[in-house]
Amino acid sequence: MEIKNYIGGKWSTHSHLQSIAVTNPANGEQLATIPLSTSNEVDEAVVAAKQAQKSWALVPAPKRAEFLYAIGQKMKEKKEYLATVLTKEMGKVIEEARGEVQEGIDMAYYMAGEGRRLFGETTPSELANKFAMSVRAPIGVVALITPWNFPVAIATWKSFPAIVAGNTFIWKPSNETPMMACEMGKIFEEVGLPDGVANIVFGTGPTVGTALIEHPDVKVISFTGSTTTGSKVAELGGKHLKKISLEMGGKNAVIVMDDADLQLATEGILWSAFGTAGQRCTACSRVIVHKDVKEQLENRLLDEMQKLTIGNGLDEGVKIGPVINKAALEKINHYVQIGKQEGATLLAGGRILNEPPYDNGFYYEPTLFTNVKPDMIIAQEEIFGPVVSLIEVASLEEAIEVNNGVKFGLSSSIFSQNVNTIFRAQRDLDTGIVYINAGTTGAEIHLPFGGTKGTGNGHRDSGVAALDVYTEWKSIYVDYSGKLQRAQIDTE
C-alpha cells in the first residue's frame, strides 16, 4: 500500500520524495510505505488550508457541526475495519482498538454538539445604553502533531474541535501509524468536508514538524508526545509567538491503602499497567502501597500476571500485544537493567521475548519490581512499557508525597473505602486527572484531558476546554446611546 499526502482535497503523489516502510510490530510484515515530505509539501498544505479557512469560518457553526456528525457516522459504520487496521499497524489488542475507534466516534458527536453552543458571555455594561459580550472566534490554520500510541483518539481530540470552531488544519501523524491517518483522510473525503479544511502531511519531526512550527501562517501548534520533544516544540514555537498546546509524559501512580478492595485494586493495576503494553501516557508505572497490604497485593498481582496472554493483537484471546518497534523494546529493557542495578527486586518478567512465536515481533514480558525506593530512576522516569514498580508507604500523607515527587503530573489513582481518605487524596494529588477506586487510565471525552508540571503547559485536549486551544476570545461593545461614553470615566 502506497500512502500519499492529502492536501487541498487531493491525494498527492509527490513522486520526487523518498519513502519509508511501515511494518506490523506483531510479526514484521510490511504494511505500507509513506513519503518523507519536505518543507515544500508543508508550504503547499498551508496554502491550501489558508485559502479554505476564509470561507470555512463563514459557514455557520451548526453547519460545520453536521460534517462531524457525518464523520462520526462513517467511523461507526467502519468501526471493525478501522480497529483491525489500527491493531495491525500499532499492535494494541483488538478489544482496545475497538475502544479507541469508539472514542473517536464519541468525540465526533460531542464536538458536533458544540456547533450549537460555542458559548460566549453577555454581561451588563457599566454605562447606560451599552451592550457588552464576548464570543469565540476561530484562529486560522492550526498544526496537529500526533503520536503512534493512540493514532485515532488523539487525532480526533485535536481535529474535531478545530473543525467545529472554524479553523483548518495540517495533521502530521506519527510515521509508525500512518494508515489510520490515511483512513481518516478517506472519511473526510467521503463526507464532503470542503477541500483544504483537513490536510495530512507525512514525514519526520525535524523536517515536517519543524516546518509547521516555523511557518508564519500556522497560528496554533497542538502536540502530543514525549516531554523532551514537547519542550523543543514549545521553545521553537515560542520564538514565533505561536499558541502551543502540549500533552506529554507521565509517571502515573496507583495508591493502594490498607482498607482497599485488593481484588479491585489488582484488576485496576493490571489494566492500567499492561493495557496497550504499557504504552500510554496514563499507564500505571508506580504502585504506592500501604505496608500492611503490600505482601497481599504482590501475591495477587503475581497470580494474575501469570494469566496474561501475549501475542498478536488480532487474536481475540490475547491480552497484551507487542510494543511499537525495536527501539522501544531496547529502551524498556535498558530501564529494567537499571532497576536491577539500583537494587530493586524483580518479581516477574524483565526480558525480551525473542523465541518463536515472538521472534518476528517486538514483545516484552509484563514486569513487576518491588522494594523500589521513590528516588530510583525506574520510579522517576517514564519507561513507556509494561513495567511496574511497587513502593511501600506507611500513611496516606507519605503516599501523596511519593505520588507528587516526580516531574510529571498527568494521572493518579487511589483505592480506599474511606470517604475522608478519598477526599483528602483528590484534593492533594497534584495531577490533572484523579481516579477513585479505578486505575490511572480511561479518560472520557467530555472532560478535559491533560496534566500538570512536566506533562503539559496548561492547555487541555477533550471537553469544552479543548475549544480554548482553537479559539480566541473577542470582546464586543455595542454603544447605542448616540453619544461618546468613556468607560471608567463617564460612569458618575
DSSP 382-415: ---SSEEEEEEESSHHHHHHHHHSSSEESEEEEE
Residues 6+ apart with CB under 8 A from 70: 191, 192
Three-state secondary structure call for residue 220: strand
Residues 6+ apart with CB under 8 A from 167: 53, 56, 57, 138, 139, 140, 141, 142, 220, 470
Nearest Cα residue to 33 out of 21, 17, 16: 21
Facing residues of 136 across strands? 473
User: How far is 311 from 357, CA to CA, in rounded Å?
Assistant: 8
Helices (H), 93-177: 94-113, 153-164
Facing residues of 353 across strands? 363
Facing residues of 222 across strands? 144, 245
Taking a C-beta distance cutoff of 8 angstroms, is the pair 228, 57 a contact? no
Residues 6+ apart with CB under 8 A from 295: none
Establish whether 492 is a catalytic residue: no
Q: Which residue has the cell 484471546?
A: 317
- Count CB atoms within 10 A of the CB of residue 348: 16
3-class SS shares of the chain: helix, strand, coil, % to 5: 40, 25, 40
Annotated catalytic residue, options 247, 298, 365, 392: 247
Catalytic residues: 247
